[in-house]
């Protein structure tokens, strides 16, 4: 840890840093390393284990590089030439919500292509737009229901007769919603927030699919002549909105109620 000239190697301050964490009472540590530091993982885990007498665990996440694309071309960066894009530049151009969500659409050890054109277009290829659009559609359903004179209060929707939801597409949506609590638990235990982003995209895709099927099959539309049936269908849409908002909250992304 100390060189022959008396100076310290980079390993020494790393040991001191983790020792400070152990002394402060933390029982679980998480480090974020670039993929080029993979050879350092076992050494550092051994240090934390020794310093804490096997009491503290250290989880090291290896992060692959992010490639920036603009107009289909890679944005070339060079420290030597002084040309680079900072995270602040990225946030200023597309906003923090887009950056957070897109960065979490890949597992940490998988390389990511951040395409400026894709993340600003309004299509299924833009995952944050697709999820936000699903939530906006849920709010649109609630607004139209209120305009039609229906009671869409939480108490009324909680008492909805869900037996009216008998179509396979509706039952599939219910099954997807039922996965949510377990998925959050798995993501938390494995420190894998990308699971939440994946799930939200799948949920949004299922919801958009159900919405679009209503164009051809009137029985799948959320507003029906029978108020009891409408309430059940609206309760399903509301549940989708609750889960999407909760998931975006976990990721630090602000849900939108209306697309502009």
How does pLDDT run across 25-43, given as a tens digit for each residue? Answer: 999 999 999 888 888 899 9
- Which pair of structure tokens corresponds to residue 204? 């949004």
Residue 179, pLDDT score: 98
**What stretches in the chain show pLDDT beneath 70?**
79-82, 260
Report helix, strand or coil for 58: strand
Residue 229, pLDDT score: 97
CA–CA separation, 119 vs 103, rounded Å? Answer: 11
Are the CB atoms for 13 and 40 separated by under 8 Å?
no
How does pLDDT run across 61-94, given as a tens digit for each residue? Answer: 998 888 888 888 888 877 666 677 888 888 888 8
Report helix, strand or coil for 55: coil
Q: What's this model's pTM, rounded to 2 decimal places?
A: 0.84
The phi, psi pair for 223, rounded to 5°, reads -105, 120
CATH H superfamily, domain 127-251:
Isoleucyl-tRNA Synthetase; Domain 1 (1.10.730.10)
CA-wise closest residue to 118 among 94, 87, 147: 94
- Which pair of structure tokens corresponds to residue 20? 């400070």
Question: Which helix (H) or strand (E) segment is 117 a member of?
Answer: none
Residue 209, pLDDT score: 95
CA–CA separation, 203 vs 44, rounded Å? Answer: 39
Q: Tell me the domain boundaries of the chain.
A: 25-63, 66-120, 127-251
Using only the alpha carbons of the chain, give its radius of gyration. 24
H-state helical runs in 52-167: 87-94, 96-103, 127-147, 154-158
């Amino acid at each position: 840890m100390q060189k022959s000239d008396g100076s310290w190697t980079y390993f020494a301050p790393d040991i001191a840093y983790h020792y400070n964490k152990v002394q402060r009472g933390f029982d679980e540590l998480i480090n974020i390393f670039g993929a080029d530091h993979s050879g350092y993982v076992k050494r550092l885990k051994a240090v934390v284990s020794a310093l804490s007498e096997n009491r503290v665990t250290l989880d090291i996440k290896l992060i692959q590089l992010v490639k920036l694309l603009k107009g289909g071309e890679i944005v070339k960066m060079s420290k030597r030439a002084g040309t680079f894009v900072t995270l602040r530049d990225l946030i200023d151009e597309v906003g923090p919500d887009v950056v957070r969500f897109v960065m979490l659409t890949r597992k940490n050890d998988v390389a990511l292509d951040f395409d400026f054109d894709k993340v600003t277009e309004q299509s299924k290829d833009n995952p944050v737009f697709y999820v936000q659009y699903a939530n906006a559609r849920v709010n649109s359903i609630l607004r139209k229901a209120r305009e039609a004179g229906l009671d869409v209060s939480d108490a009324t929707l909680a008492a909805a007769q869900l037996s009216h939801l008998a179509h396979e597409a509706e039952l599939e949506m219910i099954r997807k919603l039922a996965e949510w609590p377990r998925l959050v638990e798995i993501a938390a235990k494995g420190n894998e927030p990308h699971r939440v982003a994946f799930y939200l995209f799948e949920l949004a895709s299922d919801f958009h699919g159900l919405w679009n099927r209503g164009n051809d099959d009137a029985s799948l539309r959320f507003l029906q002549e029978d108020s009891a049936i409408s309430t059940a269908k609206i309760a399903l849409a509301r549940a989708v909105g609750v889960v999407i908002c909760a998931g975006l909250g976990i990721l630090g992304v602000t849900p939108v109620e209306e697309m502009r």
